Structure 1
Amino acid sequence: MVTKNQIKLVASLQQKKYRSQHKLFVVEGAKTVTELLDAGFEPFKLFAEDSQNIKSLGPVEMVSKTVLKQMSSLVNPNGILGVFHIPDGRQIDTDDWTVALDTVRDPGNLGTIIRLCDWFGIRQLICSLDTVDCYNPKVLQATMGSIARVEIAYLDLPKFLNETMLPVYGTFMDGEAIYTKQLPPKGILVMGNEGNGISEEINAIIKERITIPQFGENTTESLNVATATAIFLNEIRRS
C-alpha cells in the first residue's frame, strides 16, 4: 500500500529543487515509461491504476485513481506513472553534430527540441546551466518518449564552446543562409533564447553565423526556436 510519505515524495518531484535533492524524476503514460525502461533507465517506483494492463512493465504498485491524481501533474492522469533515477552524466561525444541551447526557458520548446534531436539522429544535446530542466514534467510530456534516446548535459556553455575542437555555428537573423552554407560532417549548432536569441557572451565566441532567410515581405520578426531547430537540423542532415 502506498504511504502518505510516498505520495508526498512523488508530488514534490514536480519541483526542480526536489528532483535535484532526491535525484529522481516522474514520467506519465505507458509509452514513455516503457521507452525509459527499454533504454535502461533505472526505475525507483512504478504506479498504475487498478484498471490498467501493465503486465509488460514488471513490478508495479497498484493504486486508486484518487491516489494517482495526488501524485500526478496532469489534470486527468492517464493511468500509469513512473519514478526514475536521474542518470549520471556521460562523456561528451564529438563524433557527430551536437545541438547546444543558450538559455532556452520554455518547457514545450525544450521538449520539442529533444524530440527533434531524436528524429534527426542527434544523440547529444548540450544545455546552458540556465536552460529549463529537462526533467520538468512539461518537458517530458513534450518529448513523447524521446528523452530516452537523447543524451542531455547541463554545463558551462561558454567554457564548453571555448574548449571544443568542433566548428561552432550560431543561429542569427543576419547570418549566411543555411540553404547555401557548406556544412561539415560534424559540428555544434547553437540555438538561442526565445526572446533574446544568443547571448552576447556566446556571440563573442561564435565564428560561423547562419540564418533561415525570410521570403515574405511582411513576415513575423522571428521563428519559434523549436521550429527553427527543425529547419536547421533538416539542412544539416540533407547536406
Structure 2
Amino acid sequence: MLPKSQIKLITSLKQKKYRQQHGFFVVEGVKTITEFLQSNLKLYKLYTTESFNIDAKDETLISDADLKRISFLKTPNKALAVFKIPESNAIDISGLIVALDAIRDPGNLGTIIRLCDWFGVKELVCSKETVDCFNPKVIQATMGSITRVNINYVDLPSFLKESKLPVFGAFMEGENVYSKKLPESGVLVMGNEANGVSKEAEAVITEKISIPRFGNLKATESLNVATATAILLSEFRR
C-alpha cells in the first residue's frame, strides 16, 4: 500500500500552487507516459499496476485500489507518472508563433498545444491569465505534444509590442483569412473563450483576420477557440 505522504503529494498536484511549490506535475495513461519518457523531461516517480509494466527507473508497482486513490481520472489507465516541471527555454522570435490571451479551458489549451505540434509551431506564448499548461486536464488533452512545444507565460501586450514580427489577431470583424496572403513568419493571437482578445492586446495587433461564416442564417455566434486555431494555422501553413 502506498504511504499516505506519497498519496498526499500526488493528489495535491491537482492544484497549481502545489505544482509550483513542489515543481512536479502528473501524467496519466500508458501511451502518454511512454511519450514523456522518450522526451527530455525528468521522471520523478512512476506508478504502475501489477497488470502492466513500463520499463523505467523509479518504478513502483501498486494495486488498482492505490491507483484509484492517486488518479485524477474517473477510469484510471494502468499507470501514473510524476515528472519534474522543466525550465522554459527562451522564446525563438522567428517563424510562426501562437499567442494565447487568457484561454481558461484546460481542454482548449491542450488541444491548441497539440495543434502547434501538428503544424510545426515550436513556440506557444501565453498570457499570465491563461490556464496552467501543467494542469492534469491540459496534459491529458495534449497526448504528449507538450514535450515538443516550448511554452512561456509572459505579459502578453508587452511581448507583442516588442515583437518585430507582424501580429495577427482573430476577430469576428477581421479580414477574410481565405482571401489574405499570409506570411511564413508572424504571431497569431487567439482570444479568451468568452471575451475574445483583450483591449490591451488588441491595441498592439497589426492585422485583424477572421474566419467567414457560410451558413445561410449566420446564427452561430463564434467558433470554439481551438477549432478556430486549427483553421487559421492551416491557412498559415497552406
Superposition TM-score tier, normalisation by shorter sequence: over 0.9
Q: Is the 8 A contact 2:37 2:43 kept in 1?
A: yes
Instruction: Give the structure 2 partner of residue 200 of structure 1.
Output: 199
Shift of 1:166: 0.9
Shift of 1:217: 2.5
Q: CA RMSD in A?
A: 1.1
Instruction: Establish whether residue 182 from structure 1 lines up as the match of residue 177 from structure 2.
Output: no
Which residue of 2 is the match for residue 20 of structure 1? 20
SS in 2 for 1:98: strand
Mapping of residues 30-109 of structure 1, within 5 Å: 30-55=30-55, 57-109=56-108
Distance of 2:58 and 2:169 partners within structure 1: 46
Cα deviation, residue 58, structure 1: 3.7
Name the amino acid aligned to 2:112.
I
> For 1:171-230, what per-residue CA distance to the aligned partner results, in whole angstroms no more than 9, with x for missing partners?
101111111111112010000000110011111111111000111121301100000000
Query: Which residue matches 2:135?
Result: 136
Report % sequence identity.
Answer: 59
TM-score, structure 1 normalization:
0.96
State the alpha-carbon separation in 2 of the partners of residues 111 and 33 from structure 1. 16
Q: 1:134-190 deviations in whole A, cap 9, x for unaligned?
A: 111111111111111111111111110111111100110111111111111201000
Q: Give the letter for the 1:105 counterpart.
A: R
| In 2: Cα distance, 1:42 partner to 1:2 partner | 22
Matched, 1:126 2:125: yes
The CA distance in 2 between the partners of 1:162 and 1:87, in whole Å, is: 27
1:218 maps to: 217
CA distance in 2, matches of 1:170, 1:54: 43
Render the CA deviation track for 1:15-66: whole Å, top value 9, x for unaligned.
11100111110010111111112111001111101110323x3441111111
2:189 aligns to what SS in structure 1? strand
In the alignment, is the contact (CA less than 8 A) between 2:44 and 2:58 conserved in 1? no
State how far apart, in whole Å, the 2-side matches of 1:53 and 1:23 are: 26
Deviation at 1:127, TM superposition (A): 0.5
Runs of 4+ in 1 over 2 A off after TM superposition: none
Aligned length: 237
Give the partner amino acid of 1:202. A
Equivalent residue of 1:18, what SS?
A: helix
Gaps of 5+ in 1: none
C-alpha distance in 1 between matches for 2:121 and 2:82: 26
Normalised by the length of structure 2, the TM-score is 0.97
